[in-house]
Structure 1
Amino acid sequence: MIAGALVALLGSVLNHALDSFALVLRILAAVMLILMALYIANWWKGLLRIEALGRVLWRRIEPIGRRLMPVVKVPQAFALGSLWGWMPCGLIYSMLAWSLAVAEPLRAAAMMGAFGLGTLPAVLATGVAARRVSIWIRSPATRTLAALLIITFAVWQLWHLQSMIGMEDTHSAMTSPHH
């Protein structure tokens, strides 16, 4: 959530500096969601290249996380969770791209929190009832359904952006001094 808020703050600063930057960020975020969906469905593994870039940062953060283990106190769990937001993971980076585009720190923190809760079953599946839940999560049908839902959301976002662009073009044409 902290990572989402920080990235959104950066997006906010960039949006104020560059007028069209918000639109570019939103398009980038929707494309990242589509790439994430392709990755989830095992249709394309290109996000692995983006994860490789994050490993440079993770090499510096991961030793701090190791010192926090084993987790025995709530503040320790909170600190470790804050570090995990930076691990090399295409899914996390897709959500951080979305946070950058949102450019609203509180909203981005809420999105990252929802993402964390959404991934909680998979994380818990590694330790609790791993066999049954992981079989369901790894099922091609489950992964395909998840990917199609994410792609649907991303396309809906792109459609919404396209209609916003159309409205801006109409508005600028109507307010142009040539009319």
Structure 2
Amino acid sequence: MEVQFRLNGKQVTVEAGGDTILLDVLRNLGCRSVKCGCETTNCGLCTVWIDGKSRLSCSVLAASVEGCEITTLEGVEKEAAAFGAFLADEGAEQCGFCSPGFIMNVLAMFRELKNPSVDEIKEYLSGNLCRCTGYMGQLRAIQKYMQSSQAAKTLEDKESSMEVSA
């Protein structure tokens, strides 16, 4: 069957069988950040956004994304690189195999939750497995990124209000 959707802002059409999973379609389209880890929805390596929400592409049939907007790490490269620098600074990227799915989920969390607590962060990211880091470096990177993002937002807001009053 023919399936049409937007992938990272571009319209695509693919041929997919009724049992074809989105993970396989995305990999075939060159989205190498979407990885196959467990195929049982337990690791988070295949995390993508479907219409802005984090989803595990190993559990989504390709036919079900007709007309949807799919975003992979390739579609948010600048934002991902900014957060990735914080991961690297904390030594939390290690082998990097889990990083794409983890970063996609972290960025989705920032869009969804305002100033999440440590417990909220842990809960939100509980489906992302990493066998290298022990998670503490990742948590520090998230907190530092949040602080940096909030500082940048405050500065932007001040600059905007100064332009309006001028």
TM-score, normalised relative to structure 1:
0.32
Point out the structure with the larger helix share: 1
Which one has the largest radius of gyration?
1
Point out the structure with the larger strand share: 2
